[in-house]
Amino acid sequence: MGRVITFIQVFALSSLVIFSNFTSAQLKQNYYANICPNVEKIVRNAVATKVQQTFVTIPGTLRLFFHDCFVQGCDASVMIASSGSNTAEKDHPDNLSLAGDGFDTVIKAKAAVDAVASCKNKVSCADILTMATRDVVALAGGPSYAVELGRLDGLSSTAASVGGKLPKPTMNLDQLNAMFAAHGLTQADMIALSGAHTVGFSHCDQFANRIYNFSKQNPVDPTLNPSYAAQLQQSCPKNVDPRIAVNMDPNTPRTFDNVYYKNLQQGQGLFTSDQVLFPDSRSKQTVNSWASSSQAFNNAFISAMTKLGRVDVKTGQNGNIRRDCSAFN
């Protein structure tokens, strides 16, 4: 169905692009070259140690970065703990499933950076989260890439700011595109970032509607591969313990690769928001392209992550460098 784009929408969109370019202007590679020259190596070593302790570090950190950037920008506001009368972002229902290992990765990397006298309190939690995210992707077999740095940590974190800002597993293509476009991200960026579902897991309640009560005519979502649906029902029986989780990629769950897109071709997308990417003619060609070329997917993922990392970056008086990632200075 065609859409009429008004002048106001065009103006708002161009303003968004100008604004996002302005805020990302201070970001650059090797930002800490003269401040804390070994910061990337320090963070990478801390992340590698954490990954050796638990694989959950990888999807946990990747998801934390995404949830941070989509709410108030990439400013580590999701790291703040609730205190006194303030309920922070992390305690909004949409963030309660964030793995503690993601938070712990950033905290440990921050401690490692601050243990170097010349680096102490010179590197933001937001930048450490950005570097750690790149490192977990590489440690899982995905691409490594140069990260832009220079973000400050945000000065606000409220649960009230989260509502409606994060994608839901039930969303259709139009809803996903609109949500990503609000941050200056294209449909291709959205499909590339969805590819992060090649690692990690989900709790049964996030997709139970697809395997038990999809519609009156079809209790099971007809876009689900029947044998995959049966496998999910076995892993997630009705009234299952809500703590039970299943791998998002049933084939290579511990490797960051392009198998996510091959799964979509086979009806093995776990969420509605995953599987909608394949049958729709607007997105199908992209899915097929990346299913057949891991290099094409890796390039698109790097581009999308770089753009995501520029969202609403805090500068000047709008941020600072936290001494403790979980508390304001």
**Catalytic residue set:** 67
Other Cβ atoms less than 10 A from the Cβ of 169: the count is: 15
92 is in an annotated binding site: no
The answer to whether 77 is annotated as binding is yes
Our CA dihedral for 33, 38, 43, 48, rounded to 10 degrees, sits at 140
Q: Is residue 89 part of an annotated ligand binding site?
A: yes
Give the CA-trace dihedral at 196, 320, 329, 98, to 10 degrees.
-10
Tell me: is residue 153 an annotated ligand-binding position.
no
Is residue 71 annotated as involved in ligand binding?
yes
Closest CA to 61 of 119, 142, 120: 142
Please check if 274 is assigned to a binding site.
no
- As a whole number of Å, the end-to-end CA separation of the chain is 50
SS3 of residue 86 by DSSP: strand
The 8-class DSSP code of residue 200 comes to: -
Is residue 189 part of an annotated ligand binding site? no
Residue 312 annotated as part of some ligand binding site: no
**What distance in Å separates the CA atoms of residue 58 and residue 223, rounded to the nearest whole number?**
29
Q: Is 186 annotated as a binding residue?
A: no
Tokens found for residue 324: 């403790």
Residue 68 annotated in ligand binding: yes
Structure tokens of 245? Answer: 């989780």
Confirm or deny that 114 is annotated as ligand binding. Answer: no
DSSP one-letter code for 253? T
Q: Report yes or no: 308 and 74 within 8 Å, Cβ to Cβ.
A: yes
CA distance 247 to 260: 12
Q: Give the C-alpha distances (Å, rounded to integers) separating 257 from 41, 212, 230, 252, 313.
A: 24, 30, 25, 8, 29
Beta strand pairing status for 153-154 and 245-247? unpaired
CA dist 307 and 183 (Å) reads: 9
E strands of the chain, at which residues? 153-154, 201-203, 245-247, 319-320
Point out the annotated binding site for substrate: 167
Point out the annotated binding site for heme b: 197
Point out the annotated binding site: 68, 71, 73, 75, 77, 89, 167, 197-198, 249, 252, 257
Point out the annotated binding site for Ca(2+): 68, 71, 73, 75, 77, 89, 198, 249, 252, 257
